[in-house]
Structure 1
Amino acid sequence: MRGGSVALASTTARTGRSAAESATGDTAAGDRLRAPSRLHAFNRYELKYLVPVSQVADVRAELTARMRTDHNAGADGYGVWSLYYDTQRLRFYHEKIEGLRFRRKLRVRRYGETGPADEDTPVSVEIKQRVNRVTQKRRVMLPYRLARDLCDRRVRVEHPGADQAFVDEVLDLIHRLDLRPTAMTGYRREPYVGVDSDLGLRVTLDHRVRGRDRDFDLRAEAENRHIISPGLAVMEVKANERAPYWVTDMAARFGLQVQRVSKYCQSVEAHGLAPRSVFHVPEEDVAV
């Protein structure tokens, strides 16, 4: 079938009290923390696929024929490194696994390769949350030293303009739930953006998805392990409302199926912080 668009898939969400709330006994706080905020919200619907490396070239050819490469990317894309924060009992992890309709996670993200960088290297402090079928990402750019003051040292940092409210929200979230660095992820991202009738469409291919559960400095050249097989790339499709038919047709022709993949959850499970769930990449597809 050609033309038009199709609705993006969503995971059936359970209602009621989450395992994380049961663990903390803080149902009321959980309700407040999951309430959607209007500050700096970028709403998206998402689909995720696992693409065997043997098919990446063919998928890339179709993407480049219909989309353009993101101007921020070099010839081979760019690196993305993210440090995720969670509670001692992994509240955010369990909210994702349980498929709660309202869930969120906090991360600090650096674009580019790891390695030496000064304290003023810009990083993004982000709250990514799911509200029913919609993914919202809210963020503020800070020098790395201020991001560490905020998220690790729990110090209020000043930011000009309306972003101060978001910075204060991050600090409140960290204090209220006693968040701490939990896991890192890193990968090489190959980004494409839609043109003409596909404006607002974004498709990324993430290669060599790795992670670690220690050495949380985003500048450290620390040892990582593959949390998804290097024989697979993660293709993420993000759209304002609906994905074009040609995207889902392409996936069907290559035999790709929508996957419920969370890089953060993969890193948590790969490092033994939680048992491997049934929703994620099979054990045999993870490089040890």
Structure 2
Amino acid sequence: MPPDRPGGGEPSDSDRPPPPGSLAPGRSDDHAGHALRAPSRLHAFNRYEIKYLMPSTAVPELRRELARRLDVDSHGVGGGYGVWSVYYDTRDLRFYWEKIEGLRFRRKLRVRHYGDRSTVDDDSTVFVEIKQRVNRVTQKRRVALPYHLARELCDRRVMVPHEPGQQAFLEEVLDLLCRLDLRPVAMTGYQREAFIGRGAEAGLRVTVDHRVRGRDRDFHLGADAENRLIVPARLAVVELKANERVPYWLTDLAADLSMSVVRISKYCQSVEAFGRVPRSVFHVSDDDPAGAPAPAAARSEA
């Protein structure tokens, strides 16, 4: 089912907030806004998504308007939380090109941590994820593992101890790693603010990502390594995510704030920023003026 408004997004996944206790303690009244809050053996879900770019100077106004209608994610109080991801790909960047070319079926594999990367150790909880698209439906499946087991699985390519119900997914991860000879290619990180719907809009989620950075080496999530901005600091990436429909008031708000709908992949941004491939028409260049409209070819989600 498409969003309410023309030019809107398509089914997609939503980023899960950090596990309870990993960040600042918060309220318990936002459980309905994120049904995946509690740990489970295997998460699998999809959502509709629209992505925007907006000047960081306009974020305070957006934040005020969102706070009138939505709750602040309790895991992001006091400035939000970090999201750090290591992406795996082939030597010839198969997953990158599948995204750029907009293939109707595509997948990518990543390991993700929520919170302060300086605290990451072998026992930190991370998520091994397969994000895939089939026609217009984008899904995300993942399991939570201690970081040392995630590295055993993804870097050493060996089966790791797991809970009942995770076997098939972990076998699929291993098959991708071995059959396609996947290896770490890029890392991304950013500071995220999140807002969640309530009542009739319980499935709604809005995220605002600041200072989107990346690197092409030192792929340990906790490494004290230098990161480079892959989206200009003066721009924020805003994502609207809903189980069924993005409400009119939210798309109207985006129009009122002159937010530009874009097709953007943080993974692709990182690959291009470090010269692995020529920059695509979808790349957000450092010399783009803040808030400039995206290229015409980039005005639809994929």
| TM-score, normalisation: structure 1 | 0.85
TM-superposed deviation, 1:87: 0.4
Q: Find the residue that maps to 1:6 and give its secondary structure.
A: coil
Do residues 134 (structure 1) and 137 (structure 2) align?
A: yes
Do residues 264 (structure 1) and 267 (structure 2) align?
A: yes
TM-superposed deviation, 1:240: 1.0
Give the Cα–Cα distance (whole angstroms) in 2 for the partners of residues 251 and 99 of structure 1: 25
Do residues 56 (structure 1) and 30 (structure 2) align?
A: no
Give the Cα–Cα distance (whole angstroms) in 1 for the partners of residues 69 and 136 of structure 2: 26
Identity between Structure 1 and Structure 2 (%): 64
- The aligned residue for residue 148 of structure 1 is 151
Give the Cα–Cα distance (whole angstroms) in 2 for the partners of residues 155 and 57 of structure 1: 46
- The aligned residue for residue 14 of structure 2 is none
- The aligned residue for residue 45 of structure 1 is 48
Q: 1:165 pairs with 160, 168, 177, which one? A: 168
Give the Cα–Cα distance (whole angstroms) in 1 for the partners of residues 57 and 254 of structure 2: 14
Point out the more displaced range, 185-194 or 159-168. Answer: 159-168
Aligned partner letter, 2:146: P
Asked if the contact 1:46–1:135 (Cα under 8 Å) also holds between the matched residues in 2, the reply is: no
Q: 2:187 pairs with 184, 187, 200, which one? A: 184
Q: 1:230 pairs with 225, 233, 238, which one? A: 233
Give the Cα–Cα distance (whole angstroms) in 2 for the partners of residues 117 and 180 of structure 1: 21
Point out the more displaced range, 168-177 or 145-154. Answer: 168-177
1:2-17 equivalences under 5 Å are 5-6=4-5, 8-10=8-10
Aligned partner letter, 2:238: M
TM-superposed deviation, 1:280: 2.4
Aligned partner letter, 1:6: R
Asked if the contact 1:260–1:280 (Cα under 8 Å) also holds between the matched residues in 2, the reply is: no
Aligned partner letter, 2:131: K
- The aligned residue for residue 204 of structure 2 is 201
TM-superposed deviation, 1:170: 0.6
Aligned partner letter, 1:60: R
1:133-165 deviation digits (Å, cap 9, x = unpaired): 222110000000000000001011121111121
Asked if the contact 1:45–1:133 (Cα under 8 Å) also holds between the matched residues in 2, the reply is: no
| Matched length | 257
Structure 1, unaligned stretches of length 5 or more?
12-38
Do residues 112 (structure 1) and 115 (structure 2) align?
A: yes
1:11-66 deviation digits (Å, cap 9, x = unpaired): 9xxxxxxxxxxxxxxxxxxxxxxxxxxx7420111110011011100111111111
- The aligned residue for residue 71 of structure 1 is 74
Give the Cα–Cα distance (whole angstroms) in 2 for the partners of residues 176 and 273 of structure 1: 22
Give the Cα–Cα distance (whole angstroms) in 1 for the partners of residues 225 and 154 of structure 2: 21
Aligned partner letter, 1:255: S
**CA 1:153–1:108: 2 relative to 1, 3 Å:** same
Give the Cα–Cα distance (whole angstroms) in 1 for the partners of residues 189 and 288 of structure 2: 17
Structure 2, unaligned stretches of length 5 or more?
12-41, 290-302
Q: Find the residue that maps to 1:119 and give its secondary structure.
A: coil
| TM-score, normalisation: structure 2 | 0.81
Asked if the contact 1:207–1:232 (Cα under 8 Å) also holds between the matched residues in 2, the reply is: yes
- The aligned residue for residue 27 of structure 1 is none
Aligned partner letter, 1:61: R
1:61-82 deviation digits (Å, cap 9, x = unpaired): 1111111011222311100100
TM-superposed deviation, 1:9: 2.9
Q: Find the residue that maps to 2:144 and give its secondary structure.
A: strand
Asked if the contact 1:128–1:135 (Cα under 8 Å) also holds between the matched residues in 2, the reply is: yes
Asked if the contact 2:204–2:242 (Cα under 8 Å) also holds between the matched residues in 1, the reply is: yes
Q: Find the residue that maps to 2:177 and give its secondary structure.
A: helix
TM-superposed deviation, 1:283: 4.5
- The aligned residue for residue 18 of structure 2 is none
